[in-house]
Every structure is written in structure tokens, then in C-alpha cells.
Amino acid sequence: MTTSPAFVANPTIEVTEISKWFGQKVAVSNVSCSFGPGITGLLGPNGAGKTTLLRMMAGLIRPSRGKLSVLDTNPRRDTSVFQRVGLVPEDDAVYEFLTGRRFVEYGAELAGVRNPSTAAAHAITAVGMDDAAGRRIEGYSKGMRQRIKVAGALVNDPEVLYLDEPLNGADPVQRVRLIELFHHLAAEGRTVVVSSHVLEEVEKMANRVIAMVDGRLAAAGDSAAIRAAFTDIPYRVRIESDTPRKLGSALLGQDVIRSVEVLDDTLHVQTEDLGALGHLLPPLAQSLDVRLTMVQPEDLSLESVFRYLVHGQ
Amino acid sequence: MSRFLAIIRVTLLQLVGRSRSIGLLVLAALPAVILLLVGFNTDDRDTEEFFRTVILFLVLGVTTPIISIILGAGSLGDERAQKTISYLALRPIRREVIAGAKLMAAWMASFLVAGAGAVLTAVALGVTIGSWDEMFAILVATAITSLGFVAVMQVVGYLTDRAVVIGLAYLLIWEGIVTSAASQVATTSIWRMGVSAYAGIVAGDHWGSALGLEAQVVADLKDLLSGVLPGAWGAGCKVLAVAVVSIAALGVVMRDRDLVS
């Protein structure tokens, strides 16, 4: 089983043919993979099933079918495993009437940590929230809420940490700091699973990526392999000009162009190298005396990229 | 034990938020206000009879149940609505311990508010007719009534976000109409458990006349209880059984159903 890039040699989390449906809607369909120490990115567009998979692994929701094991335990059956697990949910799951410090201390008390105040202080320092910890959470910004949630998840010193879109709302400085923290946690041998719909974000955090689309596992491997798969995808570009046919004929002879189509006086060009097209187009238009009125990439959403990976279209 | 107490502390803060507690305290004080307004315009005997009506119907039958419905539904319902259930449930704590601590907190909050209203009502009576004998009975009955409603509503509140509406419908239809019309099911009425405790203290478990109640008062109480025997211990045991069933049911539901939707 470990030969597939979806599996690791010494897993702490094992997901076997797991599915989850809500009524008629299939959220996760027959996914098998495993996670081990280090950071694994769970990548996919909105609605891909990342959060549902993460919630199943965390024990928040029950799989409709399949088997799941976290630290050799079924989290739905044995709550003692939560001593060793932490979750940062995507939702704004905070007690707004508590101060940040009390919120984290409460997490420590619930986890049965020996000295809740000290554990909370360490976790708060780790996320850089010392200055604001005495304030009520209701006055926190989105980024501060994210960080206090991370502190709440870290307070019991977990071996397995689930992070659902953990950089949401964080400013660039906070992002860098949080990413450093996650790297530090992974370097200590913890299993960190980070879900995100932003490839660049996942690339910065994870050395291994599991990509999901439409509830299924679309691709798995190291970040570089996933990035390479992404860059091979042909992009469609919409070009509007005063003489589309003349420009289209000239573009057809270029190496970076895969196909050219004229629809309603608009050029639709397919290329595998957006950057090269960007460099090529202005001088070419100038030399042909063509006036460009609009150049716009089409279909560049992450959804379309994933769809290409899964369906090849 | 420290986890149990930690949950109680945070739940109390969660349930008794500023705007909610003001609204509930106003509701709890309503019977006392009505009693004071009416009490000064009638003679002692009428006031005593009116007082009993206010206690049995308004305090035990309306304000205490409504307060308990709202707070009982909110104890776990708020956690689900505000998505904090993951922070609470993904901890190494047995589901029954969470349910028990939540129930205890909701009951304490409910008794704090409804009990304050009941004390105000008893004080209003004391001020009006100079009798303070029934304060203890009123408080015990309020405690029993609120525990019963909180226990039921905690389960409903966990299962649906329309718990308060369902609770009010239950109060009106089941407690108000069905158990009054059909004496066979009167024993299931939480309101009557509270009334039974009150009657047990003021009239004695065997309809004696501990506080020298008049025959007419005893007859009225018997009529209201529809065959349910008076007795604080019996009523207490019944609501405790309801609470235990509620905790056990929540333990099963939290294990077998998704914690978030």
C-alpha cells in the first residue's frame, strides 16, 4: 500500500475507503490515504470535501462508510485519543465572552492538562498573542481569532494537529509566523494536516500534498510534483483586438500556442505557458499594427485546474 | 471533577449573557409584580387564593418552564449554533460527563433566575398578607420544575435549532392541555411534579394539613394534580430520573450522530 503517493510508511492516521454523504449529497467518496509525521497539505477547491475529510479524521463527524484510525484508535469510539489531538476548525469556533487567555486555559482544563495556566501561557506565546490575551475575544480581528484558535489546539501538546484553512484572515506577517510555527511543530515529529484551497499557501507549508476534487482523491505526492502537474495544464486566454483573424494567424505559428479559435470576433487561445504568451503578445501586435483591447485569462480558477487533473479536460 | 466544574463555569457565562439574563429576569419578576398590583386591592383571603393561583399556574406553570426551556435548549444548542462544540467535544471527556455538566449548569442558571422570581413572588405575598410560611415550598417546587424542563430541553436543544419553539409548543399542548384532559398521563407532566412537591410540603405527603390549609385549598390542589400524589421526595426522584435519562440519551446521541452539520 505504501507504494502509492497517497500513503506513507509509518502512518499516524489511516483512512481506508472512506465515504460520507449528507442525504443525497456525497461529500467524500471512497477516499483512501494515510498521514504521518510532518506537514501534509489537503488541497482542493471549495466543496471538494477537504473539511468533511478533516472533520471525520478529527472525530467530529462519522463516516458513512469505510474505516478510520488515528493513533491506532477510532476517534468516534475512544475519546482518550483527544488527549493527543488538536483541531483548528475553519469555523469561528470561539467563546466570544471569554478572554483569549481564559479560552486557551479552558481548552487546557478540558484536556486535563496538569497546569492549565502555564500550558495556556506557552501556547499563547507560541502564536504571538501575549499582548491581546487579556482582552475578550469578541473584540478580536479575524487574524487574532485564528491565532487564538491555534493556541487552543496546541495547549494539550498534541501529536496530531488538524488545521482547517488556518491562514484565513491572517495578515502577511502573521502568516509567516504561523507557517514557521507549523514547520517547527512538524520538525518535532508531529503529524500536521493542513487544509487549504490556495496552492501557494499549501506549497509554503507542506512537503506532501493530497489534492481532492468533488469528494475524491485527485492527486497525491510532494509539492513539486503537484506544482509540475499544475504547470502542464493548458490555459485559455481571451484576446480582443480590432483585427482578430490577422492576430490569430500570426499566433498560430508560435511555439507556445497550442490552438487558436475565433468566436464572435474574439480570439480564444490555448497555451501551456502564460508567461511566454504575455511576453510575446505586445510586440507581435505592434509589429502587425493590431490594437489589443483586452487580454484576459479564462477558466483559471482552482476548480478548473483540479477538473483538468481529474478529468483531463 | 475539574473538567466538570470547568464546563459548568463556562456554560454559566454562556447562558447568562447580558441581554438574555435581563429578559429572563423581567419574565421571572412578572408574577410578583402582578401579585403586588392585585394584592393591594383585595382582602387577605382573596389575596391568598390569588397567590396560590399565581404560584401554581404562573410561576410553576409558565415563567419557570419558559425560563428553563430557553436555558435548557441553549446549554448544548448554543455550542452547536456557535460552532464551539468542536472545542468542547474534541477533548478526552466522556460524553455523559459533558452532558451532566451542561445539565447542571443550565439547571443552576435556570434556578437562579426562576428562583429569584419565585422569591420575589413569596416576598410580594409576605408584604401583602404577612405570611412567609410557603417560601421553602415554592423554592423546592421551582427547583424541581426547572430541573425537569432543563433535562428534557437539553436533548431537544442538541437535536434541533428550533428547540425553543418546540419547547413552548410542548408546554402549551402537552403540559397545558393533554395532561390536564387525560389523568392517565398526568404523571408525566413536569409541571405537576413541581406542584406535587409544593403540595407535599404545604399539605403533607398524605394530604395532611401541615400549614393548616383549608379543606377547599386541599381539594383544589388534588384537582390540579389529577391523581398525582403530593410529595417532594417522590417528585424529586422523578425529575432526577428524567435528568439521568437525558444525560444517557445525550451520551448516545453525541457518540452516534455527527457533532457538527
The three-point CA angle B177-B148-A109 to 5° equals: 150
The confidence score (pLDDT) of residue B52 equals: 78
In this structure, of A106-120, A163-177, A268-282, B216-230, the range with the lowest mean pLDDT score is B216-230
A220, A88: one domain = yes
Task: Check whether residue A48 and residue A143 sit in a common domain.
Answer: yes
In a domain, A2, yes or no: no
Q: Which of B90, B99, B91, B96 is nearest to B72 (CA)?
A: B99
Residue A235, chain B, CB below 8 Å: the answer is no
| pLDDT above 70 coverage of chain B, percent | 89
Model-wide pTM > 0.95: no
Amino acid at B147: L
Residue among B117, B7, B130, B73 nearest B246 (CA): B73
Is A212 found in the same domain as A288?
no
C-alpha cell at B21: 439574563
Is A253 part of any domain? yes
Q: Is it the case that residue B186 has pLDDT exceeding 60?
A: yes
Is residue A187 domain-shared with residue A251, that is, in the same domain? no
- B207 pLDDT more than 60: no
Query: Are both A219 and A269 inside the same structural domain?
Result: no
Task: State the residue range of the domain holding A87.
Answer: 13-230
Does residue A3 lie within any of the structural domains?
Answer: no
Q: By mean pLDDT, which of A92-96, B26-30, B52-56 is the weakest?
A: B52-56
- Chain B residues touching A106 at Cβ < 8 A: 6, 10
Q: Which of A212, A230, A248 is the last residue of a domain?
A: A230
User: Do A179 and A289 reside in the same domain of the chain?
Assistant: no
Instruction: pLDDT band for B180, please (50, 70, 90 cuts).
Output: confident
Q: Are residues A72 and A169 in the same domain?
A: yes
Per the CB < 8 Å rule, is A89 touching B6? no
- Please give the pLDDT value at position B123: 85
Closest CA relative to residue A191, chosen from A84, A7, A37, A41: A37
- Per-residue model confidence as pLDDT tens digits over B57-110: 899 999 999 999 999 999 999 999 999 999 999 999 999 999 999 999 999 999
CATH number at residue A260: 3.30.70.920
Domain assignment of residue A256, yes or no: yes
Of A230, A247, A275, the position where a domain reaches its end is A230
Final residue in a domain of this structure, among A230, A253, A279: A230
CB atoms within 10 A of CB A218: 21
C-alpha dihedral (B210, B216, B220, B223), degrees to nearest 10: 100
Residues B99-142 have pLDDT tens digits of 999 999 999 999 999 999 999 988 887 777 677 777 888 999 99
User: From CA B216, how far away is CA A312, in angstroms rounded?
Assistant: 87
**Which residue, among A110, A294, A67, has the nearest Cα to B86 in the 3D structure?**
A110
If asked whether residues A218 and A266 sit together in one domain, one would say no
pLDDT for A1 beyond 50: no
pLDDT for residue A214 is more than 90: no
What is the strand order of the sheet A160-164 is part of? A85-88, A160-164, A191-196, A38-43, A208-213, A216-222
- Name the average pLDDT for chain A: 88
Q: Does A87 touch chain B (CB under 8 A)?
A: yes
pLDDT band at A16 (very low <50, low <70, confident <90, very high): very high
Report yes or no on A307 lying in a domain: yes
What is the Cα–Cα distance from A162 to A139, expressed in whole angstroms? 26
- CATH number at A206 reads 3.40.50.300
How many domains is chain A built from? 2
Contact A79 B94 (CB under 8 A): yes
The pLDDT of residue A313 is 45
Does residue A126 belong to the interface with chain B, where contact is any CB pair within 8 Å?
no
- Report if residue A4 sits inside a domain: no
| Residues A219 and A254 placed together within one structural domain of the fold | no
Asked if residue A306 and residue A216 are part of one domain, the reply reads: no
Q: What is the pLDDT of residue B212?
A: 57
> How high is the pLDDT of residue B213?
61
Complex ipTM: 0.88
